[in-house]
Amino acid sequence: MQFENSLAFARKTDGEDVLRAFRDEFYIPEVHGKPCVYLTGNSLGLLPKAAEKALKDELEDWKNLGVEGHFHGKNPWFHYHKFLSENTALVVGAKPSEVVVMNQLSSNLHFLFVSFYRPNASRFKIIMEAGAFPSDMYLVESQVRFHGYDPAEAIIEIAPRNGEHTLRHEDIIDAIETHKDSTALVFFSGVQYYTGQVFKIKEITEKAHSVGAVAGFDLAHAAGNIDLQLHDWMVDFAAWCSYKYLNSGPGSVGGVFVHEKHGNDSSLPRFAGWWGHQESERFKMLKGFIPEAGAAGWQLSNAPVLSMAVHRVALDIFARAGMKRLQEKGRMLNAYLDYIIRESKEGNPNLKIDIITPAYPERACQISMLTGENGKSLFDHLTAGGVIADWRNPNVIRMAPVPLYNRFEDIYRLGQVLASF
């Protein structure tokens, strides 16, 4: 498509968008009395309007039924996690039995590491990206120390080359090969939170397996954003949050993937809780943990129904929109954002910005801009102009046009604010 930096072009393109009606299913925050340009779905997705009724339904059952809501509610709480499995599987490319919604992201990763980081004297290293999201850095360091290893020796961080902002795929592969005899786990994000770089999950997994290592992924910025085929790619495990692209509310419930080759192995070590115990035996209250088959066997506690109610609504929207259509529109929005940023920079010498996110296919909804010494002033200018973006120290502005609720007109409006800096 030949882009144009005009309101007429943006509105025409929006009019041809087959997904345009989904925007009306979300509340759009207002700035200065009109809908803002919300470009922070990579940090917190917007509220689906149907979430209010979903929450009210569960509150009504709680009010009217009390504990009986577990079995006699409109959506029985005892089985609530099952209501989310099919649509979760669609989002991440898995079988329903390979996914479960539970807990939150970092706690889920810790529980998964119990099963999948099994170091020994010869294999104890974890290979990961340098500059990973801080929670992942803390997670890995604490897991390594818990097993009695020195993080300086056990953690191999792959960094961009001098003068570059993103990782080269061949450097990841080379690092796995270099440490092939001592690596227990290769652990990467699906999308790098700071730069927006999409990692090649399939190829990283294949290389990890070829050297006898396990492959796991933090999909916080990937789930609901990029094409994921976790089952077919033979990923061992993954976890994600639901409050970014999945639009399920601040701090909402997380998701877990465990490939069926592991999920049906009851001998695999894990930390156990009663909701992961075989459902048919759960209320007998007996000793001896018998895990549920599949990812459900990693559950510990009963479902947080109120956050799951919102998540269920959000997943239903994804199922109706379709991941393929969302990804196609997302690429178009992102390409238009790239075009508008470059157009704005070309016409305004005050804009000291450079895009550090690589080109498609190593890019999804996010673009990260490296700013100059006036970067914070630029960010404040965007905010005052009705653009909600995201500042990351020391000098990056992140923006993510989300296909469910962002329009091409939003991107055009951003360009007008940039041009006025």
pLDDT digits (tens, 9 = 90+) for 319-335: 999 999 999 999 999 99
Q: What is the pLDDT of residues 269-322, one digit of tens each?
A: 999 999 999 999 988 899 999 999 999 999 999 999 999 999 999 999 999 999
Q: What is the pLDDT of residues 50-109, one digit of tens each?
A: 999 999 999 999 999 999 999 999 999 999 999 999 999 999 999 999 999 999 999 999
**Locate tokens 């992942």: which residue?**
136
Percent of the chain with pLDDT over 70: 100
Is pLDDT at 413 greater than 90 in this prediction? yes
Is the pLDDT score of 373 beyond 90? no
Q: What is the pTM of this model?
A: 0.96
Q: Domain extents for the chain? A: 7-35+323-419, 55-320
User: Taking the CA atoms of the chain, what radius of gyration do you get in angstroms?
Assistant: 22
Name the residue among 18, 10, 1 with its Cα closest to residue 403. 18
Which residues lie below 8 Å from residue 24, measured CB to CB, with a gap of 6+?
none
Sorting pLDDT into bands at 50, 70 and 90, what band is 372?
A: confident
Q: Return the pLDDT at 1.
A: 85
Whole-angstrom distance, CA of residue 53 vs CA of residue 287? 40
In angstroms, what CA-CA distances link 74 with 60, 65, 70, 296? 10, 10, 10, 22
In 115-229, beta strands by DSSP E: 125-129, 155-158, 183-189, 214-218
Question: In the chain, what percentage of residues exceed pLDDT 90?
Answer: 97
Sequential DSSP letters for 248-264: --TT--EEEEE-HHHHT
Domains 7-35+323-419 and 55-320 share a fold: no
Residue 347 pLDDT exceeds 90: no
Per-residue pLDDT, 69: 96
Q: d(Cα 174, Cα 110) in Å, to the nearest integer?
A: 27
Query: Which CATH code of 3.40.50.9100, 3.40.640.10, 2.60.120.680, 3.40.50.2300 fits the domain covering 55-320?
Result: 3.40.640.10
- Please tell me whether residue 12 adopts helix, strand or coil conformation: helix
pLDDT at residue number 99: 98
Residue 171 CB neighbours (<10 A): 14
What pLDDT is stored for residue 50 in this prediction? 98
Give tens-digit pLDDT for 174-208: 999 999 999 999 999 999 999 999 999 999 999 99
Q: Which residue has the tokens 């991107």?
A: 411
Q: How high is the pLDDT of residue 156? A: 98
Q: Tell me the β-bridge partners of 238.
A: 217, 257
Please state which of the four CATH numbers 3.90.1150.10, 3.90.1170.40, 3.40.50.2300, 1.10.1060.10 is assigned to the domain occupying 7-35+323-419.
3.90.1150.10
pLDDT tens, position by position, 149-162: 999 999 999 999 99
